Amino acid sequence: MNETVILKNLSIKDGDNTLVSKVSMTVEKGEIFGLVGESGSGKTLTAKSIINLLPDNLKLTADEIQTAGKDLLTITKNERRAHIGNNVGYIPQNTVFYLHPMIKIKNQIGDGYIYHMKRSKSEALEKASMLFNKVGFDNPKNILNFYPWQLSGGMRQRVNIAMALMNDPKLIIADEPTTALDSTVQRQVMQLFEEINKDMGISILLISHDLGLVRHYSSSLAVMYAGQIVESGHTEEVFNNPKHPYTQLLNKIIPSLNIKKNELLPEIPGYVQDSGRDTESCLFIKRCPHAMEICSKCAEEHESNGHYYKCNLK
């Protein structure tokens, strides 16, 4: 099998309100796959569906959610938890607050390893020291004795990455892993992800607002808009030949999409809507410079050589 994630027709609802609609994507083994989109477009909810962490108030439907070789829809809740714990490392959004700030790192770094891999605490600490070395700490044993609040943002993110590596995952999902960091540290952290990907063969699902960053580090990407994927394919192909007007506009405003929900995109007037996301019509219609009459009825899907887009333009 050559895929780490296969998602087919994932939809997520909050009661009757559709938040994510018919998302399909494939992350190949050993690649860095970028998931980009404005705030509120559904990136985090899509990622959480892949690792069985969707909030309880939301309901998902899908034809397939295959993560690290198993379709989560065909196994029990307990099997899902064990499978994800053994195979996926997760770096949630806003991880500056992920570790408990008042508990020493040595007393929380190994929890998942001890639980899922059935190891002792001393084995966990040994592994953590080895990984701290790998993520660039000169004195790993010292780091174990720190409280998270004593670390800088960049150091904390390195600890989070080491933590995500504890169970030798096949996949790491990193949700906006560099958003809170300044640009030099951002580059160092991304280089670390690149190293992990190349040296250890771990697939990475990289979620980001930052199209420039995704362009630089990912080999494939998907662009989300209002709960749908509007374009996806090999990074080079999508950037050299963007088909969807949204991607074309984003392409113009590289390097950064680092804006808050409901804030205007500089060159794309209008907002990402929160409702009506399961419509057949094009969701980008109100912001699209090329909108046609047919776009209020449907949006045609195109695919050729792995390059997908959903738009009535040919």
Ligand X SMILES: Nc1ncnc2c1ncn2[C@@H]1O[C@H](COP(=O)(O)OP(=O)(O)OP(=O)(O)O)[C@@H](O)[C@H]1O
For residue 243, what is the enclosing H or E element? none
Nearer to Mg ion, 26 or 44 (CB): 44
Backbone angles phi, psi at 85, to 5 degrees: -60, -35
Report what 189 binds from Mg ion, ligand X, none; CB cut-off 5-8 Å by kind: none
Residue 278 found at the interface with ligand X (CB under 6 A): no
Among positions 38-57, residues that touch ligand X (CB under 6 A) are 39-45, 55, 57
Residue choice 261, 286, 290, 297 for contact with ligand X (CB under 6 A) = 261
Q: Pick the closest to residue 68 from 32, 34, 22, 28 (CA basis).
A: 28
Report what 64 binds from Mg ion, ligand X, none; CB cut-off 5-8 Å by kind: none
Nearer to ligand X, 151 or 272 (CB): 272
Nearer to ligand X, 144 or 229 (CB): 229
Q: Pick the closest to residue 170 from 98, 95, 93, 90 (CA basis).
A: 90
For residue 230, what is the enclosing H or E element? strand 228-234
Q: How many residues bind Mg ion (CB under 5 A)?
A: 2
Nearer to Mg ion, 44 or 186 (CB): 44
Where does residue 37 fall: left (phi above 0), alpha (psi -120 to 50 degrees), or beta otherwise?
A: left
Nearer to ligand X, 55 or 289 (CB): 55
Q: Work out the burial of residue 82: count CB atoms within 10 Å of its CB; fewer than 13 is exposed, 13-18 middle, 19 or more buried.
A: middle
For the record, the structure tokens of 181 come out as 């960091």
Nearer to ligand X, 166 or 257 (CB): 257
Nearer to ligand X, 14 or 237 (CB): 14
Among positions 92-131, residues that touch ligand X (CB under 6 A) are 93
CA dist., res. 187 & res. 16, Å (int): 41
Among positions 197-256, residues that touch ligand X (CB under 6 A) are 209
Find the shortest distance in angstroms from Cβ 252 to ligand X: 20
The amino acid that residue 268 corresponds to is I
130 three-state secondary structure: helix
Nearer to Mg ion, 39 or 219 (CB): 39
CA dist., res. 13 & res. 133, Å (int): 42
Q: Is the backbone peptide bond immediately before 255 cis, with ω within 30 degrees of 0?
A: yes
Find the shortest distance in angstroms from Cβ 19 to ligand X: 4
Among positions 74-113, residues that touch Mg ion (CB under 5 A) are 93
Residue 19 found at the interface with ligand X (CB under 6 A): yes
CA dist., res. 4 & res. 28, Å (int): 6
Report what 252 binds from ligand X, Mg ion, none; CB cut-off 5-8 Å by kind: none
The amino acid that residue 41 corresponds to is S
In contact, 27 and 202? CB cutoff 8 Å: no
Find the shortest distance in angstroms from Cβ 45 to ligand X: 4
Residue choice 11, 18, 41, 44 for contact with Mg ion (CB under 5 A) = 44
Find the shortest distance in angstroms from Cβ 203 to ligand X: 20
Residue 273 found at the interface with ligand X (CB under 6 A): no
For the record, the structure tokens of 142 come out as 């010292």
Q: Which residues bind ligand X (CB under 6 A)?
A: 14, 19, 37, 39-45, 55, 57-58, 93, 209, 261, 274
Q: Which residues bind Mg ion (CB under 5 A)?
A: 44, 93
